[in-house]
Amino acid sequence: MANIELDGTNKKIKVDSGDLTLDVPGDIILDADGADLVFADGGTNILKVTNSSSDVVLQPQVDAKDIIFKQYDGTTVATVEDNGTFNVPTSKLAINGTAITSTAAEINLIDGGTARGTTAIADGDGVLINDAGTMRMTNVTTLKTYMGVGDNTPAFRVNKSSTQAIAHDTEVEMTWQDEILDTDSAFASNRFTPQTAGYYQIYASARLNTNSDADQWRVQIHKNGSQFAIGSMVNRTQQTGQCLAMVELNGSTDYVSAYAYHVVGSESDIEAQDTYTYFQGFKLIGLV
């Protein structure tokens, strides 16, 4: 039979063998005015429970050791690690009964703080979406394609640096010498072939070197070599004609080019002035 000894000198209750069970009809209350309850094993303090301004603090008392939470069958459900990490094993974290099975990379959605800023967005950046209740990661490029948004490219702008003779009563394809903008290397041989399907805003302007009746002079936009749009005269004094059109182009062979036409004499020249004579266009976003 085990003996229980009250050690008043050392303020201990000692049992010489076996376990000690406190069996009371009410509650067991441990009241420590020093604010700490310390659990020890063989004289080594293991865990301290502290009252900190009515907050409860659980603190291991052995360095480099963890606090481990387990089920009855011994399965670990969470660990407070020595490095301060609260580690939940795979499939052991759930919200309202629904298990969260995301990887660590998906859970760590914000690693730069919660403040909103002006961080630039690039095509490869990730975007979190709810796919029928399952959270998945896609990227800005995919989202941009789906929504039909993005930048206005392909785009181009070319100017004329040398005059060009236009025969009487003949549609003549205009030539261009100065390439100001060509985002996708889609402009060549005086034609814009974007290789990207969509709707494009195309604009051509030219000034004819003549003093004849301006109504007999026009700028045109051709698609695949055929007349698509005929422009109007915008400046009779300067003999400047312009043409604006929205053109649908496929992603392979469609192209546009600028043409000039007049019946003001046997021959006239298109002037080489970039403020009057130019050809440009860009893809319209939001249209599919």
In CATH terms, the fold of domain 155-283 is Jelly Rolls (2.60.120)
Structure tokens at 276: 């009057």
244-261: pLDDT as tens digits: 999 999 988 999 999 999
Residue 228: pLDDT band with limits 50, 70, 90 = very high
Structure tokens at 94: 């759930």
Q: What's the pLDDT score for residue 187?
A: 97
Residue 229: CB atoms within 10 A of its CB come to: 17
| 130, 144, 149, 253 from 122: Cα distances, Å | 21, 11, 14, 29
Q: Please give the single-letter amino acid code of residue 156.
A: F
Per-position DSSP letters for the chain, written without gaps between them = ---EEEETTTTEEEESSS------SS------TTSEEEEEETTEEEEEEEEETTEEEEEESSTT--EEEE-TTS-EEEEE-TTS-EE--TT--EETTEEP---HHHH---SS-S--------TT-EEEEEETTEEEEEEHHHHHHHHT-S---SEEEEE--S-EEEETT--EE----EEEEETTS-EETTEE--SS-EEEEEEEEEEEE--S-GGGEEEEEEETTEEEEE-EEEETTTTEEEEEEEEEE-SSS--EEEEEEE-SSSEEEE---TTT-EEEEEEPTT--
Q: What's the pLDDT score for residue 47?
A: 92
Asked if the model's pLDDT at residue 51 lies above 60, the reply is yes
Q: Please give the single-letter amino acid code of residue 2.
A: A
21-47: pLDDT as tens digits: 888 999 999 888 999 998 888 889 999
164-223: pLDDT as tens digits: 999 988 999 999 999 999 999 999 999 999 999 999 999 999 998 765 555 578 899 999
- Specify which residues 40 forms β-bridges with: 45
Give the end-to-end CA distance of the chain in Å, rounded to a whole number: 90
- Specify which residues 202 forms β-bridges with: 245, 281
State the DSSP code for 144.
H
Q: What's the pLDDT score for residue 238?
A: 66
Q: What's the pLDDT score for residue 206?
A: 93
Residue 259: CB atoms within 10 A of its CB come to: 23
61-95: pLDDT as tens digits: 999 899 998 999 999 989 999 998 988 887 788 87
Q: Where are the domains of the chain?
A: 1-65, 73-101, 106-147, 155-283
94-122: pLDDT as tens digits: 878 777 765 554 455 455 555 667 778 88
What is the CA 153 to chain-centroid distance, rounded? 18
Q: What's the pLDDT score for residue 12?
A: 81
Q: What's the pLDDT score for residue 243?
A: 96
Q: Please give the single-letter amino acid code of residue 232.
A: S
271-280: pLDDT as tens digits: 998 899 999 9
Is the whole model's pTM more than 0.85, yes or no? no
| 89: preceding bond cis by omega (within 30 degrees) | no
Structure tokens at 71: 């089920």
Q: Where are the beta strands (DSSP E) in 122-197?
A: 126-131, 134-139, 155-159, 164-167, 172-173, 178-182, 187-188, 191-192
